Structure 1
């Protein structure tokens, strides 16, 4: 399954893309944004495998936005203008679609993404623990907890793994991959969120507190959930 987002300030263009996405079984819409700032929040709060990005948007163009990202998801530019094609491909965009976008052209572009994904390896991290290098799939990690100079990660299986890493280290590695730092001692995988308020987040049976100094990150996280981006 490819989780994708639409970044476009034109409602009709966004609606057409959403319709195209709904016709392909391997695509799932993870959220929509009308500008670069909302798109940035989406990228910070859940994994995004593919971004459909308009170029002409208020305040910050799609090209400027993509240039600003340290972790760039595979991106398909969508625009009514041919003038930006060269610059778009210089940013290693998957494709450059001219509006109005037909389903046939859309499908051809997505097929390229599907083909590339078949050639990639699993998304995982290597942790050194008890003298052994352990491969852990990121989709299996429910949350991280700081324990002095170590971190403990809780997996979806219920297993816990302790490693000589720090949350700051994990924050830099996992930025833009759906993990959110909500406390000095905790980082969560937003895919497992089942409930929240302004003081804690529920990850199934796990209750994780929200730290005061992480209120801004948490507010951005809540904003995206409120828009239906996580539980669509």
Structure 2
């Protein structure tokens, strides 16, 4: 059985390089690639691959690629694909581990590190099997014992195939749309917030005030930059050095006065020129829904 995978990377050359290495493993089957956050999420929801290679520090910041993409998947999928991070930045490894990624690979990708990551992926998949309802409990899974150090088109080495019993079919996943639950943890106190109840995030030095639709404000001891990194950008976008807004809570945007209005309130938040692209994105997303313009 082949395990399907998707590559999400803003650099198309890196997509190709990752695919070339992955093709040397016969248990992996390429499905598609994406160069941006939204495109990547949509492809994953459409194909529901077993594995995703994900860049989290893109050169093209407009691609919005980040670890928050993983959070977004949990809103829709009961079984989220395994994730292998592929990036050039070393100092995000610890943060990535919090998202329970399979592995963290540094570019340029090394075949030995890649092989170890695929073995970890294989082990992670097998550890999930007892918890799945399987239509056919046993099949043959081919793992390529890869010893090549050259590109596949020039290498002339023999490979050995080993058979390992695993499931013949992955379970059909029923997609259920659910909101993200944000947990604010402080000294053993776990405060759970439904993302749909958040109006906006406001910077306060090294902490962030979270404003809710019931009028309550909760302080989290994380910077606004941290929230910008981890929040799903399909729901939350930064519009100012001091504000991240919930797109679903926007009732009005006045581009002349450079302000966004919050639903069911008199609150209006300024947006700055440096985040004008995000404001344009909000306008586009609202227009892309059930929309009538008069």
What TM-score comes out, normalization by structure 2 length?
0.42
Q: State the structure with bigger RCO (CA 8 A, min sep 6), 1 or 2.
A: 1
Unpaired runs of at least 5, structure 2: 136-167, 178-287, 289-294
What TM-score comes out, normalization by structure 1 length?
0.53
Secondary structure at the aligned position of 1:69 is classed as helix
Whether 2:115 is the aligned partner of 1:114: answer no
Counterparts in 2 of 1:13 and 1:63: CA distance versus 1, 3 Å? same
Structure-1 separation of matches of 2:105 and 2:82: 14
Q: Which residue of 2 aligns with 1:83?
A: 91
* Cα offset, 1:94, TM superposition: 0.6
* Cα offset, 1:113, TM superposition: 0.8
Further displaced range: 62-71 or 20-29:
62-71
Q: Which one has the largest radius of gyration?
A: 2
Q: Which residue of 1 aligns with 2:53?
A: 52
Deviations 1:29-82, CA, capped at 9 Å, x for gaps: 111000111111111112210110001233423212122221332101111001
Q: Are 1:4 and 1:50, in contact at CA under 8 Å, matched by a contact in 2?
A: yes
Unpaired runs of at least 5, structure 1: 127-136, 142-168, 174-215, 217-232
Q: Which residue of 1 aligns with 2:68?
A: 64
Q: Which residue of 1 aligns with 2:226?
A: none
- The alignment covers a number of residue pairs equal to 138
Structure-2 separation of matches of 1:117 and 1:36: 25
* Cα offset, 1:138, TM superposition: 7.3
Structure-2 separation of matches of 1:88 and 1:139: 26
Whether 2:102 is the aligned partner of 1:94: answer yes
Whether 2:128 is the aligned partner of 1:124: answer no
Root-mean-square deviation over aligned CA pairs:
2.9
Deviations 1:165-209, CA, capped at 9 Å, x for gaps: xxxx94429xxxxxxxxxxxxxxxxxxxxxxxxxxxxxxxxxxxx
Q: Are 2:6 and 2:30, in contact at CA under 8 Å, matched by a contact in 1?
A: yes
Deviations 1:188-231, CA, capped at 9 Å, x for gaps: xxxxxxxxxxxxxxxxxxxxxxxxxxxx9xxxxxxxxxxxxxxx
Q: Are 1:124 and 1:138, in contact at CA under 8 Å, matched by a contact in 2?
A: no
Structure-1 separation of matches of 2:36 and 2:66: 9
Higher helix share: 1
Structure-1 separation of matches of 2:92 and 2:175: 33
Deviations 1:99-154, CA, capped at 9 Å, x for gaps: 0011111111011111222233274389xxxxxxxxxx97687xxxxxxxxxxxxx
Secondary structure at the aligned position of 1:97 is classed as strand
Q: Which residue of 2 aligns with 1:16?
A: 17
